[in-house]
């Protein structure tokens, strides 16, 4: 019987490895096999693989830091402070083996997403890691800005000492951190902890170089942050490989040498090489988008709708969503963001409606999951459709893509605009958040109905 575990303490030096050793010794005494991944100051070591997870009976996380648990979805898991593993590892192992796991629609979604995440490799893996850490900043910032306008009116940014102004500027602060977070966690994915500092500094410079007049350049923002993240990550890997110090001074490498040298190099590259050219590309893209009107705008909406529904939270979906969030400017409405959100709501809503109007074509479990899909769809969580798509991709994916294209195209054709990056139907009642509200709802209903009708026709009855 095999278990897997992760140990991690705040400093990543002593207790991380003491806990790992204690778990290994306890498992050996009890007659079990265990693999312990240590997440220390130099990064993750003895990393748990897909093969380990397939063989694992349970998971133990002994950590005082935040540990990503997405890869362990579907496995019994316990999480305790690192000192508990040092003090009584045998009890932890027995407790983990006694833990049960139950599965509903949300857990099915998380399990499939975890499997997809584990299958990512190379540049795609690093980019998706950065995007996943960036999105909470985008969502929180956008919704807080919207609430600020709701409490303080359209000129709320002129009243920072009011309740509305405080909410607005808190949202602006979250927005300001999303670009450094993107770059920082791309670098983190490549080089682990030592990549965070140069990555975030590079991301900060990507959105703030306009303030440095001697450079005569503009903000490179989103595109510049991606470049900064990859530069930072691979520079850290290079430095880790070639910098050697005496054994007594090795502890200085992750906390002093790597942050200092990598941040200096990344800063110089961003300020003197990357900033200007990428800013030009960024400005050209913005100019092209602002010029889209009529048929061209509707075509863009259709493309965004197809992308949002194609892989339901995968790389194509994330590319469309990240592209849309880059068009958001505080206090202004984005037609691209509006089309993207309405198209992303359609897949789970359309499937939920299909489970109602074509009950004989869905199992009892699928009809129960359809009830949860209503809530996920209304909340703009496209992933609510993933279990249905995984079970019958050749029928479900074309159906949701058709509905997404209809919703996105109509939204752009109607000229609907959105000021926030998330929230689904729940943010539409906030003043100044959406323009052309009624046509926007029409686009959502139309896309939902199209998906439901197509799926109800082409899906085979349950045997």
CB 409 within 8 A of CB 361: no
CB 43 within 8 A of CB 193: yes
d(CA 112, CA 127): 19
Q: If DSSP codes are grouped into helix, strand and coil, which group holds residue 428?
A: coil
d(CA 266, CA 199): 8
d(CA 262, CA 236): 6
| Tokens encoding 184 | 């920082």
261 sits in which H/E element: helix 258-269
d(CA 347, CA 397): 9
Q: How many residues does the chain have?
A: 463
d(CA 113, CA 68): 13
Other beta carbons less than 10 A from residue 6's beta carbon? 29
HSE at residue 69, side-chain half, CA atoms within 13 A, is 16
CB 78 within 8 A of CB 96: yes
d(CA 56, CA 50): 10
Q: Which residues are catalytic, by number?
A: 9
- Closest of 378, 370, 385 to residue 313, by C-alpha: 385
d(CA 424, CA 446): 16
- Closest of 333, 319, 316 to residue 434, by C-alpha: 333
d(CA 200, CA 187): 8
Other beta carbons less than 10 A from residue 60's beta carbon? 29
- Closest of 281, 397, 313, 263 to residue 113, by C-alpha: 313
CB 20 within 8 A of CB 63: no
CB 314 within 8 A of CB 301: no
């Amino acid at each position: 019987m095999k278990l897997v575990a992760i140990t991690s303490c705040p400093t990543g030096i002593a207790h991380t490895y003491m806990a790992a050793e204690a778990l290994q010794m306890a498992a050996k005494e009890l007659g079990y096999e265990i693999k312990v991944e240590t997440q220390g100051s130099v990064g993750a070591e003895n990393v748990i693989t897909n093969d380990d997870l397939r063989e694992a009976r349970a998971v133990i996380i002994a950590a005082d830091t935040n540990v990503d648990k997405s890869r362990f979805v579907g496995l019994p898991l316990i999480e305790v402070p690192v000192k508990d593993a040092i003090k009584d590892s045998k009890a932890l192992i027995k407790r983990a083996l006694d833990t049960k796991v139950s599965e509903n629609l949300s857990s099915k979604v998380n399990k499939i997403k975890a499997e997809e995440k584990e299958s990512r490799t190379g540049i795609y893996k690093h980019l998706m890691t950065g995007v996943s850490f960036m999105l909470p900043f985008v969502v929180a910032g956008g919704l807080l800005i919207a609430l600020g306008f709701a409490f303080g009116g359209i000129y709320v940014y002129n009243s920072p000492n009011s309740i509305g102004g405080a909410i607005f500027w808190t949202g602006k602060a979250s927005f300001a951190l999303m670009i450094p977070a993107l770059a920082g966690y791309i670098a983190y994915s490549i080089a682990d902890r030592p990549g965070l500092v140069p990555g975030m500094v590079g991301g900060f410079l990507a959105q703030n170089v306009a303030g440095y007049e001697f450079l005569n350049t503009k903000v490179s923002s989103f595109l510049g942050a991606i470049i900064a993240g990859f530069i930072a990550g691979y520079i850290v890997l290079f430095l880790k490989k070639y910098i050697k110090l005496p054994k007594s001074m090795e502890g200085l490498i992750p906390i002093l040498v790597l942050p200092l040298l990598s941040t200096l190099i990344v800063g110089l590259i961003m300020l003197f090489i990357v900033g200007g050219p990428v800013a030009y590309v960024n400005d050209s893209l913005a100019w092209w988008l602002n010029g889209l009107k009529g048929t061209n705008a509707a075509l863009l909406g259709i493309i965004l709708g197809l992308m949002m529904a194609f892989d339901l939270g995968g790389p194509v979906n994330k590319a469309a969503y990240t592209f849309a969030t880059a068009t958001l400017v505080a206090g202004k409405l984005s037609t691209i963001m509006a089309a993207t959100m309405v198209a992303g709501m359609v897949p789970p809503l359309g499937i939920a409606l299909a489970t109602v109007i074509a009950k004989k074509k869905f199992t009892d479990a699928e009809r129960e999951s359809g009830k949860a899909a209503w809530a996920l769809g209304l909340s703009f969580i496209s992933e609510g459709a993933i279990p249905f798509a995984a079970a019958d991709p050749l029928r479900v994916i074309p159906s949701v893509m058709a509905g997404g294209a209809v919703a996105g195209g109509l939204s752009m054709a109607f000229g609907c605009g959105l000021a926030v990056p998330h929230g689904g139907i729940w943010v539409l009642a906030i003043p100044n958040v959406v323009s052309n509200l009624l046509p926007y709802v029409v686009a959502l209903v139309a896309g939902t109905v199209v998906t439901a009708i197509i799926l109800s026709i082409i899906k085979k009855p349950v045997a």
